[in-house]
Amino acid sequence: MKQVVYSPTNEMLGWATLHGGIKFRDDAAAIGVRSDEGLHGVVVFDSFTTTGCWVSVVSDGGRKWITRELILRVFAYPFIQLDYPRLNSFVSVDNADAIRFNEHFGFQREGILREAGEKGEDLIVYGMLRRECRWLPQRFAGKTGKPAL
């Protein structure tokens, strides 16, 4: 049975670095999905500021680890627990799956970081405002999205 887990953070960050090739900052926090077989996916938050943070998603290649429970917890952390008005993400222009993933979940394209990728490729900057997040329960003030639950 798969479970949403919040620890051990160092193990999840190591797994995400190994599977995603991403280096995370020292302030990183993670939410993962684990079964008896091990981790299936990890969502990492880092680069925390007073108004938001950056999010990265790394998986084992499967898609069945993303559940409604995980989605709610992932968006509740920055928007409810930390009370941030926005969440940020960046994606390589060469990663079509990640571009679709970000846009499916409601992130908006906000700009391009030229030659900022690990291989010198451009990165697309994505952002989501709390009021745009359709995954949070309707009762949270400032919501304009559709109810998800």
Q: SS3 of 60, please? A: coil
Count of domains for the chain: 1
In the block, residue with structure tokens 């509740």: 76
| Residue 144 belongs to a domain | no
Q: SS3 of 147, please? A: coil
| Residue 90 belongs to a domain | yes
| Residue 127 belongs to a domain | yes
Identify the band that residue 28 occupies on the pLDDT scale cut at 50, 70 and 90. very high
Question: Can you give the pTM of this predicted structure?
Answer: 0.90
pLDDT digits (tens, 9 = 90+) for 111-137: 999 999 989 999 999 999 999 999 988
User: 119: Cβ–Cβ under 8 A, 6 or more apart, which residues?
Assistant: 92, 94
| Residue 145 belongs to a domain | no
Which CATH number is 94's domain given? Answer: 3.40.630.30
Q: How far is CA 55 from CA 88, 107, 139, in A?
A: 6, 11, 24
Q: Looking at residues 11-21, what average pLDDT do you find?
A: 96
| Residue 85 belongs to a domain | yes
Q: Looking at residues 6-18, what average pLDDT do you find?
A: 97
Domain hosting 34: range is: 3-132
| Residue 142 belongs to a domain | no
